[in-house]
Amino acid sequence: MVSTYRVAVLGARGVGKSAIVRQFLYNEFSEVCVPTTARRLYLPAVVMNGHVHDLQILDFPPISAFPVNTLQEWADVCCRGLRSVHAYILVYDICCFDSFEYVKTIRQQILETRVIGTSETPIIIVGNKRDLQQGRVIPRWNVSHLVRKTWKCGYVECSAKYNWHILLLFSELLKSVGCARCKHVHAALRFQGALRRNRCTIM
């Protein structure tokens, strides 16, 4: 039986949301930044450990606020489907403090406004542009400690430009949404090792 997971990708302008998705799906990266102005839907099938999982990846443009109810969600075409996903990927630029503050705000709004009974929807915080490490504005340990210990969210740093930890991010995603056949893998490094042996592919 094929499992289907809906995933929302959110973040401030220019943090590399679409670049992460396109690197994951097409193994490509463009130096030209084209702002996302409308919601985009991608429908890849992921094979992990010999089992197929359908993903519905919703790449959203920057939103001013998370919709507080279904009416508001569907009134704004850019927000449609945002409240009913199985997981959230919140992306920030490690070189931009404001983009982290945006993620911080959106995460809090998600927790406060999600449908009753779905408060445990996984949230993964992603620090993109690791290739620009010298321009980092918040020490990695500080962010990781806050996200993992206080927020109780997953945390991954990646580089969409160099395709670094992109597959690891989506492996962590599958584990976070309760992929039964992924639960036996406990460490991110073991995920990464499995990926190097081509156990996760895009169809």
Instruction: Specify the pLDDT at position 53.
Output: 86
Q: How many whole angstroms from its chain centre is CA 36? A: 16
Q: Name the pTM for this structure.
A: 0.87
CA distance 48 to 199: 6
Which residue, among 129, 190, 192, has the nearest Cα to 165 in the 3D structure?
192
Strands 154-157 and 87-93: unpaired
Structure tokens at 182: 């992924």
| Domains present along the chain, CATH in parentheses | 4-194 (3.40.50.300)
Which residue, among 56, 43, 45, 57, has the nearest Cα to 2 in the 3D structure?
45
Counting beta carbons within 10 angstroms of the beta carbon of residue 201, is it exposed (0 to 12), middle (13 to 18) or buried (19 or more)?
exposed
Which residue, among 127, 111, 107, has the nearest Cα to 119 in the 3D structure?
111
Residues 6+ apart with CB under 8 A from 31: none
Amino acid symbol at 1? M
- Tens digit of pLDDT per residue, the chain (203 long)? 678 899 999 999 999 999 999 999 999 999 888 888 999 999 999 887 777 889 999 999 999 999 999 899 989 988 999 999 999 999 999 999 999 999 999 999 999 887 554 557 899 999 999 999 999 999 999 999 999 999 999 999 999 999 999 999 999 998 888 754 455 443 332 333 333 333 445 55
Q: Are 7 and 55 in contact (CB under 8 A)?
A: yes
